[in-house]
Chain A
Amino acid sequence: MTVTREARRDEPPPDETTDGPDRRQAVDFDGLYHAHFRSLTVQLAAYCGDLSQAQDLVQEAFCRAFARWSRVSRYDDPVAWVRRVAWNLATSRWRRLRTAESWLHRQREEHVPGPGPDRVALTAALAQLPPTQRRAVVLHHLADLSVGQIAEQEGVPEGTVKSWLHRGRAALAAQLTTTNEVTDHA
């Protein structure tokens, strides 16, 4: 079941052109931004449980990429750099940012269209997972990273990632089942 899906790379939003040739000599910053901003934000939103914060984190990661663009653009996979920075921002600072930006929460609640029960249910279920498992599950399912790629991003052995995924998905499936039962009977 777990068996590695091979890297599909970071998925561009459906309405964007393919990101296949993103190792052209000079990667175009705007192109990269448009191709990946939304998909990265979705991943971070699933991890943080907060869309506006996810947008800020991804925007900040792109700022840092732009500030060293001459170097980052020459990397084999510049998106991986942006993604790693965004995730690191999320994992190491997000609590601090969160307090400072709590006012954004209220704003978001007024501006974002209804999230829909699917999103709410998955967000709630993800919130129950320990951060490591949540990261692994989100990176696997929303960033479409292979076990090996997750291990590289997180700096842990593949066996550890497999364990995180194994436990995380089991817990998530159980959570979602419970949620649905509750909803069904309500």
Chain B
Amino acid sequence: MPEPRETRLSGAFEAYRTLTLDAVVPAGPDAVRRTVRRRQRRRVATVAVVVAVAVAAPVAAWAALGRQSTPAPVTSPAPTASPAPTGSPSAGPSASPSTPAGRIERAELLAATVDLPAWPAGAGCRTRGVRLVERTGGDVLLSNAAYAYGDVDGDGVPEPVAVVRCLRGGSPYPEQVVAFDRAADGTPVALGRVFRSDPRRPEWLVAFDARPDGAVRVDVTDRVEADDTEPNAAHRQTRIYRWRDGRFTQTGGPTAFPAEPSPPAPTTSTSKPIPVSPLFTLTTTPVVYGPPDADGWRRGMTTVTVTNVGPDRLTDVRVTLPDSDPDIHEHSLVDGCPTASGGGGAFYCHPGPLDPGERITVGLHFMRRTAGSDHQIPVSVERGDDNAAVPGTTTRGSITVTFE
């Protein structure tokens, strides 16, 4: 009987509201004006640049990124690709801790020392205390053309999103798309990584854009042409990422290129890159939907059990559950997934490392509006590698769905 509980809860919240309202001490609208004026004064020197970049950046950044074979800076012909650091570098605004200042200008980013998300293995560039450079004089280049602003965390202030490129080693250079934000003390920090290239997974950046609404669009290709031409549609994919729960999650577009994209004729298995014996076994329990709850939704759950039957410890295991409308997976109710993400047509659960012979069980909850006939929902497990699956490691299974 939900009534008493409902009343009780409402009462608890009413009491909370009343008691807390009395304790709130607004600083007042005049304090707002003072803060905003102070910030505007600090930024006045760069306002002209801000306006120019705000209009031009999305267009400029969407231009192809240009893949140099020498560490020369991006010399994209895009006419607007030079939001040159005029004005004072306004290094490290001395805002009080509780007042993160406005948008991070490019000059400020170049003047700062930042910690970057990890590079792929063997990249040769540091991640801690990195000074980004525009041309020479450092290991990590802050791209000029591939630089845009979008309010990725929805805090009302657009964040810079940019390609950073490790200039050590050779071409193609390791690249990351990174969003920056202010730390509590106002200094720029890397907020998170949208994408990175990885030699073990042949995907390379072609283009990117940060939209004002905070979505970051990344175009990738699975082959780098020797003559620097742009890849054709078969080798180019557009993916959309959004900042969710402390990380960038893909929310649109395909997640991977088809395995073996148009192979050079099926030669007899000379170069099977991937081990053939399965790494996992996967078993599931059926979802049995009950009668509709008071809110009209039927609910049920399954447990998915994964066993590492391979010889190695697997540090990143990924359970993939494709979206399967009208069976809606309740992302908020996942058991046994310390890390999980959704988007791009699937839900991904990373239950943690798995030793040989070790077994792990994940609980997945479903809800559904209407009854239906018994059916199956696909599910798979694979070896993960930083948001991607290692090709050829997938074990597939299915979840039986029935109705009470």
Contacts and interface: CB of A to CB of B under 8 A. Distances in A.
Given A60-B99, A121-B12, A172-B9, 18 more contacts: A1-B2, A29-B29, A33-B26, A33-B28, A42-B21, A45-B24, A55-B24, A59-B32, A60-B100, A62-B29, A63-B36, A64-B157, A88-B155, A97-B97, A100-B97, A119-B15, A162-B295, A176-B8
Interface string B99-135: 1101000000000000000000000000000000000
A34 B29 contact: yes
A61 interface: yes
Contacts of B40: 67
A180 to B, nearest CB: 9
A160 B331 contact: yes
A38 B17 CA distance: 10
A118 interface: yes
Interface residues of B, number: 58
A146 interface: no
Contacts of B39: 63, 67
A23 interface: no
A13 B24 CA distance: 11
Interface string A88-101: 11011100110111
Contacts of B26: 33-34, 37-38, 41, 55, 59
Contacts of A33: 26, 28-29, 32
B297 to A, nearest CB: 7
Given A1-B294, A169-B5, A173-B9, A63 B35 contact: yes
B54 to A, nearest CB: 12
B226 interface: no
A84 interface: yes
Interface of B: 2-3, 5-6, 8-10, 12-13, 15-17, 19-29, 31-33, 35-36, 39-40, 97-100, 102, 153-157, 181, 183-185, 243, 245-246, 293-295, 297, 328, 330-333, 367, 369
Contact of B16 (A39, A61, A119): A119
A96 B246 CA distance: 12
Contacts of B25: 55
A118 B15 contact: yes
B68 to A, nearest CB: 34
B295 A2 contact: yes
Contacts of B99: 60, 63
Contacts of B330: 160, 163
A88 B87 CA distance: 31
Nearest to B183: A96
Contacts of A96: 183-184
Most central of A3, A59, A112, A133 by chain B CB within 10 Å: A59
B16 A100 contact: no
A27 interface: no
B112 to A, nearest CB: 16
Given A63-B36, A66-B32, A121-B12, A113 B328 contact: no
A182 B21 CA distance: 27
A147 B20 CA distance: 24
A2 B9 CA distance: 12
Contacts of B16: 42, 46, 118-119, 122-123, 142
Contacts of B17: 39, 42, 142
Interface string A154-175: 0001011011101101001100
B297 A101 contact: no
A21 interface: no
A159 to B, nearest CB: 6
A92 B153 contact: yes
A130 interface: yes
Interface in A72-86: 81, 84-85
19 contacts: A2-B294, A14-B21, A38-B24, A39-B17, A39-B21, A41-B20, A42-B17, A51-B20, A55-B25, A64-B155, A64-B157, A66-B33, A67-B36, A67-B40, A93-B181, A100-B185, A163-B297, A163-B333, A169-B9
Contacts of B36: 63, 66-67
A159 B10 CA distance: 22
Contact of B155 (A41, A89, A104, A172): A89
B155 A166 contact: no
A184 to B, nearest CB: 15
B94 to A, nearest CB: 14
Most central of B17, B294, B367 by chain A CB within 10 Å: B17
B332 A130 contact: yes
Contacts of B369: 159
A119 B24 CA distance: 13
Contact of B332 (A2, A63, A160): A160
Contacts of A157: 328
B154 A85 contact: yes
A38 B28 CA distance: 11
Nearest to B98: A56
Most central of A34, A66, A104 by chain B CB within 10 Å: A66
B85 to A, nearest CB: 23
Contact of B20 (A42, A61, A93, A131): A42
